Amino acid sequence: MSKSPTTESSLINETRGLPKKTTTGAKHNPALKLKVILGISTALLVMITIVASTIVLRAKNARRKSDWSGKNIEAIVMLKRYSYAKVKKMTNSFSHVLGKGGFGTVYKGKLPDGSGTDVAVKILKDSKGNGEEFINEVLSC
């Protein structure tokens, strides 16, 4: 079957209006290739920064914890110690309870230096460890 010249020319005319086939892969598109490389590089940089920050913070916290272990409690907090008899006198025989905490009962008292300054006196219970928890409690006040 042979095609007539009219039919052939109409087919050619129809295909002339179509756009040319283009390739959109990264192989032929340098802008897309650049975007992919930049995206991957940015993601890697963010991940490396997060990992490095985590390592530094953990090392810093570990060092901070170890600093407490060898120090004298009194040197850290500068606590003043009184004899039991003196504390009993300062608190009027432990007559006014302010509260109870994990390390002992807290009583209201007055300093024996004549200033009349009100103080909170904590009578410590037996505690385990080197007093680190008590130091943290005092420092958080």
Residues making up the annotated binding site are: 122
Residues 94, 88: contact at Cβ < 8 Å?
yes
Residues 121, 91: contact at Cβ < 8 Å?
yes
3-state secondary structure at position 27: coil
Binding-site entries for ATP:
122
